[in-house]
Structure 1
Amino acid sequence: MSAATSPPVSPSAVTSAGRLAWLDALRGIGALAVVAEHMLPWFVPSLRPYWFSLGVYGILVFFLVSGYIIPASLERHGDVRAFWISRFFRLYPLYLVVIAVVLALSWWVPVREAVVRDGSAVAAHATMLLDVVGIGGVADTMWTLSYEMVFYLVVTALYLTRGHERSGTWAIVFAVAAVLVGLVASGAVFGGGWPAYVSCAVFVLGLTGVLVGRLRTFSACALGVMAVACLLLSSRVPWLGTAVLAVMFAGTAIYRWERGTGPLWPVAVTGALVVIAPVWAIESGWWWVQADVWLTTILLAAATFAGGMALRGRRLPRILVWFGLISYSLYLVHHPLLRYFVRVSGDLRGEPLAYQLVMTAAALVVIIAVSAVTYRFVEKPMQDLGRRISRRCRGGPQGGGEVRVPGESTGDDRVLRHEERQVPHRVSDDVDQGESVG
């Protein structure tokens, strides 16, 4: 099919740089919110808000962005092998560097107590399925990567079985499941280290099948089933993990609505169900899921995402887009850095407000500087390498399992290539291979 006769491309994919940079701006907002959530209790506790949760707000924005862009990227290129290669080079290099640094400095600042001291921690970190197998990450923020990974595995299975276009339905299914799980489960059904070992074995074997191409669909389905089983049966907070998947599929449903290929009402239904999901958690007294706080946090995250979409045709603040550029680094490195900073500065909670603010500014400068360095020397080179390898895989004899979905064509990709020359580097990554929570 020629470019002239190909179906219209997603409005968010083929317009000006501003209509793609909004994704980075949202990531910047989400990253700064998470940094503030962890910084304020240690540095300026009097300024911490309790009428909504800064941290949950930030990760909800991240999850909506991932839900919006990840399936779109996979469908556009129709190549699961290239997708997973790009994901590995996008996520793992910095992740492994942070793990190495935290372990190397454990003589000074001990590894978190939530990290078990046996082989199950190694298995869980290897797959990133930390939270869904009940294992704490060496950096506190790594728990959210578990749900990113579950989403990737489920989306891959749906894509290869042609069930990926019913995003609204899947959003509602996971939202209903979150409500039901919140009613009956207060924690993991299966504990101990064996879920980490079993999931690691399935992960390695399944992804080998996906990458090599033999039994690709079977392997992807096995991975998807394993991911959902861990989500429901061995995750630390089952209702929350299930609600997160609902939110991510709601992001995909928004993308389909924007393209004119799906309705918007499932997003509203999903949102309403997620609001009432934390039944057990409310009874347990967790402050951030009290009805008013939880509802306010969800509404603020939804309003932020909607605001980003509304402004996608306009020029956005460069500093905000830049924070989105380094958001994965910000997300992963800030918590260990805060622990190191406090070890040097001492407990700041009882200090005068002026001194707290000065130390907060100093810590923020350190975090931003280190994040910029890790992006420049770890993230970006590895992303470039992953992009080159994934492009070779697309052009290889096996094609990575290409499945062109209805409404997509090689003409679409030509338009995207033209537009990528007009957008910043990180936004080009979105068009090329999707994006993560960071």
Structure 2
Amino acid sequence: MKLKKETVFLRTYGDTDFITGLRAVAATMVVMIHTAALSEFGAIGQAITSAGKYGVDIFFVISGFTIAKTFTEARNYSSYLTRRIMRIVPLYWLAITLAMLLIVVGALPFPYWMQELGSEPNLYNYLMHLSMASFLDYKVANSVLGVEWTIPIEVFWYVFLPPLLYFAKTVYRTIGAFVFFHFLSKFLFGISEDMFGTVLPITWSPAAHGEMFFIGATSFYLRARFKTEPPAGSGLWIGGAVALFALALVAGSGRASEALAFSTAILIVCVTPDRAKWVTRPLTSRPMLFLGSISYSLYLFHLPIMSLLGELNLLPGFGLAKFMLVYGTTVVVSMATYALVEKPTNRLGLRLALGAK
């Protein structure tokens, strides 16, 4: 994906800058649920906080869009995959390594899922994470950072989504693939419950989230189709998507995941700076572009940072105060990791991709 321009902490992509703002929203949602940000503010505050877990679905939809776009623009599959891997893997390896070391030396307590599922911070756990194969063993899949289960899923779909899109070829076939993976995940959840007594082996696997990546890929194809001529009633579609997004946050519905995914996809399809300034202006403000640019670091590091603050007895008991402290501290750390790790490795990925045959 070619950047239009870039400053120290702002990545911009022209008419899709608002997607960077959506990344900021998704990362903030995830931090909110882990810090119980608004849990003291009644039913609505609790619903918004609880909806934070669906921030990963927004990330997955955006990733599906990015995969389809990057693959379409790449010279070949090797070039595409090099860019994607270098975008996500180096920082992930760093986060896993640092967290594992801190756990081993006792600076951090065993994370929740490590305790809950009885895994250990051993070489097996470490290598399963580094190899991106951790989703094959649910007892280690989310045992180090508390959020890392999503990264091997992203890498899996980096590898396999482009070939599947090649065979799908049309929007309708891509939608058909979404439907297939939707029902496949429901089927596998039932099998997992029967075999293991838990749905975690499927929840933390690529099969459970394939539908989100295909929603994102479909949004890329539809956006390309409507680039010059907006879809009929695009203003209503955009307004409806924003309303659906807000409703999913406050209603606490069991369908919030799908509602947030589809509303994100509709915005990706329909929004341009000329069509919906009331949406793009807040999402492309400098603070939102800044937070969206460092959102990957925000996502990876906020739980270890919260754990470290807890060990130092610095965490306030009030949810909103806890959110503000954890979020602010993680932003500072993320600025460093973005400048020192993400930007250099992204540039290296670009150079390697240009040399890929």
Cα pair distance change 1:323/1:187, threshold 3 Å? farther
In structure 2, the residue corresponding to 1:236 is in which secondary structure? helix
Correspondent of 2:187 among 177, 180, 184: 180
Aligned counterparts of 2:326 and 2:266: Cα–Cα separation in 1: 31
1:84 and 2:81 are equivalent in the alignment: yes
Cα pair distance change 1:240/1:88, threshold 3 Å? closer
1:260 and 2:228 are equivalent in the alignment: no
Correspondent of 1:296 among 233, 247, 256: 256
- Per the alignment, residue 125 of structure 1 pairs with 129
Aligned counterparts of 2:195 and 2:62: Cα–Cα separation in 1: 28
1:20 and 2:16 are equivalent in the alignment: yes
Q: Which amino acid aligns with 1:179?
A: K
1:155 and 2:164 are equivalent in the alignment: no
Cα pair distance change 1:367/1:163, threshold 3 Å? same
Give the 5 Å matches for 1:377-392. Answer: 377-392=340-355
Higher relative contact order (CA 8 A, sep 6+): 1
Contact in 1 for aligned 2:146/2:303 (Cα 8 Å)? yes
Offset, 1:373: 1.0
Which protein is bigger by CA-based radius of gyration? Answer: 1
- Per the alignment, residue 177 of structure 2 pairs with 170
Give the 5 Å matches for 1:95-110. Answer: 95-106=92-103, 107-110=106-109
Identity %: 22
Aligned counterparts of 1:60 and 1:74: Cα–Cα separation in 2: 21
Aligned counterparts of 1:30 and 1:369: Cα–Cα separation in 2: 18
- What whole-Å deviation, never above 9, does each CA across 1:381-429 have from its counterpart, x for those lacking one? 1111111111122xxxxx2xxxxxxxxxxxxxxxxxxxxxxxxxxxxxx
- What whole-Å deviation, never above 9, does each CA across 1:200-230 have from its counterpart, x for those lacking one? xxxxxxxxxxxxxxxxxxxxxxxxxxxxxxx
In structure 1, the residue corresponding to 2:148 is in which secondary structure? helix
- What whole-Å deviation, never above 9, does each CA across 1:301-334 have from its counterpart, x for those lacking one? 4334434554432442221121111111111111
Give the 5 Å matches for 1:8-407. Answer: 18-40=14-36, 45-47=39-41, 49-50=46-47, 53-106=50-103, 107-112=106-111, 113=114, 114=117, 115-134=119-138, 135-137=140-142, 138-158=144-164, 162-163=167-168, 165=170, 166-186=173-193, 236-237=201-202, 241-260=206-225, 293-307=253-267, 309-313=269-273, 314=277, 315=281, 316-345=284-313, 348-349=316-317, 353=318, 357-393=320-356, 399=357
Contact in 1 for aligned 2:51/2:252 (Cα 8 Å)? no
Q: CA RMSD in A?
A: 3.2
Contact in 1 for aligned 2:219/2:268 (Cα 8 Å)? no
Contact in 1 for aligned 2:32/2:49 (Cα 8 Å)? no
- Per the alignment, residue 405 of structure 1 pairs with none
Contact in 2 for aligned 1:116/1:136 (Cα 8 Å)? no
- Per the alignment, residue 279 of structure 1 pairs with none
TM-score, with length taken from structure 1: 0.61
Contact in 1 for aligned 2:189/2:202 (Cα 8 Å)? no
Contact in 1 for aligned 2:102/2:108 (Cα 8 Å)? yes
Q: Which amino acid aligns with 2:254?
A: W
Which ranges in structure 1 are unaligned for 5 or more consecutive residues?
Answer: 1-15, 192-233, 265-287, 394-398, 400-438
Offset, 1:84: 2.1
Which ranges in structure 2 are unaligned for 5 or more consecutive residues?
Answer: 1-11, 232-247
Contact in 1 for aligned 2:92/2:300 (Cα 8 Å)? yes
Offset, 1:163: 4.4
In structure 1, the residue corresponding to 2:64 is in which secondary structure? helix
TM-score, with length taken from structure 2: 0.74
Cα pair distance change 1:358/1:51, threshold 3 Å? closer
Offset, 1:187: 6.5
In structure 1, the residue corresponding to 2:222 is in which secondary structure? helix
Aligned counterparts of 1:117 and 1:54: Cα–Cα separation in 2: 30
In structure 2, the residue corresponding to 1:105 is in which secondary structure? helix
Contact in 1 for aligned 2:48/2:252 (Cα 8 Å)? yes
- How many aligned positions are there? 302
Between 136-145 and 99-108, report the one with greater CA deviation: 99-108
Q: Which amino acid aligns with 1:366?
A: T
Offset, 1:184: 3.8
Aligned counterparts of 2:287 and 2:48: Cα–Cα separation in 1: 27
In structure 1, the residue corresponding to 2:40 is in which secondary structure? helix
Cα pair distance change 1:336/1:74, threshold 3 Å? same
